[in-house]
A = this chain, B = another copy of it.
Amino acid sequence: MALNTERAARVMAAAAERGLSQLLVTDPLSIYYLTGVTTEPGERFFGLLMADGAAPVLFVNELFPLEHPEGCRFVSFTDADDVPALLARYIDAERVLGVDKNMPARFLVPLMESGAVAQVALGSFAVDGARAIKDAREQELMRRASAINDACMAEFAALVREGVTEREVADQLLGIYRAHGAEDHSFPPIVSFGANAANPHHTPDDTRLEEGDVVLFDVGCRLPEGYCSDMTRTFFWGKPSEESVRIYDIVRAANEAAEALVRPGVRFCDIDAAARRVIADAGYGPCFTHRLGHQIGLDEHEPGDVSATHDEPVQPGMIFSIEPGIYLAGNTGVRIEDLVLVTEDGCEVLNRFSHEPRRLDR
């Protein structure tokens, strides 16, 4: 374990561009990205204070025995210690402190009240920006995570049988992922039958499969090295309704139109618009209720989404999802999602699992 000095320098340079010279990083995945050290601190404080001209300081509750990463100072504390007071010893109160977007108020408000810091600003854009550009090793791990997802999707589809419930299917996925070398789900899997597919965030329940249902899997795994996959496929069980078939074709066309557009310089909002236009032109605009996609890497949702409000251009090394959907409440729903890696002159679609419509009862 050692501070990754190249990444740390990139982060501090990005912070400096917006006038920040000290950052308190508290996202455990960002700390892992920078130091190789990982833990799940739960409700306890875990932070890396980075400042120009000094070695970063890692703050760890002694409940979590960690290797001290080379290149960092190390401060351990107990449940009885006053964390804001401890941080105050290392923070420069005269300078703005950049804080993590996820830093909870229970640490931030006392820190501000303690007078340890004159002003705070959101600072995690600097680490998030570095994390958004995946290097060659990270790209390889992301390819591997998606290859596992492709292979597992074929096995997941084979679990679907007459009379099975969503939950019975969902409970079997982790074992399959692990047999393929994944560490865990990257998020709680979504398995939706029939009308449940109209809720994009449905939780698998005791709903039983019925003739004519769509069967939607939105699933991903995390490698032991921490990188995530995320893919959605929608299948049919029995003869689908005409409307299910129609929206399947529209969603597929929206997915493929967006993927065809991805190359350096194209803006996130343009990619979102390309998919949205296909759906709107077919008359289903109001039924595509979410952004087109999100970036992904160590975390299954990383900042910088593929949406109408994000007008920055995509860059080589970025990886994000393309996941258009049409949701007809009380009736049916379809979503088709792949991950794409932006290359020098286009993109590589990391998921190879077919977009062809498929009945699982045959």
Interfacial residues, chain A to chain B (CB-CB below 8 A): 40, 42-43, 62-65, 78-80, 99-106, 108-110, 113, 120-122, 167, 171, 174-175, 178, 199-201, 289-291, 301, 305, 307-309, 329
**Measured between alpha carbons, how far is A64 from B108 in the docked complex, in Å?**
28
| Selected contact of A104 from candidates B65, B104, B175, B178, CB within 8 Å | B104
Residues in B whose Cβ lies below 8 Å from that of A199: 65
Within the complex, the shortest CB–CB distance from A200 to chain B, in Å, comes to 7
B40–A201 touching, CB < 8 Å: yes
B122–A109 touching, CB < 8 Å: yes
Residues in B whose Cβ lies below 8 Å from that of A305: 79
**Measured between alpha carbons, how far is A178 from B204 in the docked complex, in Å?**
14
Within the complex, the shortest CB–CB distance from A101 to chain B, in Å, comes to 4
The answer to whether residues A105 and B106 also contact, given A80-B308, A200-B63 and a CB cut-off of 8 A, is: no
Most-contacted residue by chain B among A78, A110, A301 (CB, 10 A): A78
**Measured between alpha carbons, how far is A99 from B122 in the docked complex, in Å?**
17
| Selected contact of A290 from candidates B63, B106, B174, B290, CB within 8 Å | B63
Chain A interface main SS type: loop
**Measured between alpha carbons, how far is A88 from B111 in the docked complex, in Å?**
24
Within the complex, the shortest CB–CB distance from A259 to chain B, in Å, comes to 21
The answer to whether residues A109 and B105 also contact, given A43-B301, A201-B64 and a CB cut-off of 8 A, is: no
Residues in B whose Cβ lies below 8 Å from that of A105: 99-105, 108, 120, 122
**Measured between alpha carbons, how far is A200 from B120 in the docked complex, in Å?**
35
A80–B307 touching, CB < 8 Å: yes
A63–B171 touching, CB < 8 Å: no
B109–A42 touching, CB < 8 Å: no
Within the complex, the shortest CB–CB distance from A82 to chain B, in Å, comes to 9
The answer to whether residues A106 and B122 also contact, given A42-B301, A200-B63 and a CB cut-off of 8 A, is: yes
A108–B108 touching, CB < 8 Å: yes
Residues in B whose Cβ lies below 8 Å from that of A120: 105, 109
**Measured between alpha carbons, how far is A252 from B102 in the docked complex, in Å?**
39
Residues in B whose Cβ lies below 8 Å from that of A167: 178
Residues in B whose Cβ lies below 8 Å from that of A100: 105
Residues in B whose Cβ lies below 8 Å from that of A62: 289
Further pairs besides A64-B201, A103-B104: 12, Cβ < 8 Å: A40-B201, A43-B301, A63-B201, A65-B329, A79-B291, A80-B307, A80-B309, A102-B104, A108-B108, A109-B121, A167-B178, A171-B175
The answer to whether residues A106 and B101 also contact, given A62-B289, A171-B175, A290-B63 and a CB cut-off of 8 A, is: yes
**Measured between alpha carbons, how far is A121 from B80 in the docked complex, in Å?**
22
Residues in B whose Cβ lies below 8 Å from that of A80: 307-309
Residues in B whose Cβ lies below 8 Å from that of A329: 65
**Measured between alpha carbons, how far is A113 from B120 in the docked complex, in Å?**
10
**Measured between alpha carbons, how far is A136 from B12 in the docked complex, in Å?**
54
Residues in B whose Cβ lies below 8 Å from that of A103: 104-105
| Selected contact of A289 from candidates B63, B102, B301, B307, CB within 8 Å | B63
**Measured between alpha carbons, how far is A183 from B358 in the docked complex, in Å?**
32
Show 22 A/B contacts (Cβ-Cβ < 8 Å), sorted by A: A40-B201, A63-B201, A63-B289, A63-B290, A65-B329, A78-B289, A79-B290, A79-B291, A99-B109, A101-B104, A101-B106, A102-B104, A103-B104, A104-B105, A105-B108, A105-B120, A109-B120, A109-B121, A109-B122, A110-B122, A113-B121, A171-B174
**Measured between alpha carbons, how far is A254 from B257 in the docked complex, in Å?**
65
Residues in B whose Cβ lies below 8 Å from that of A64: 201
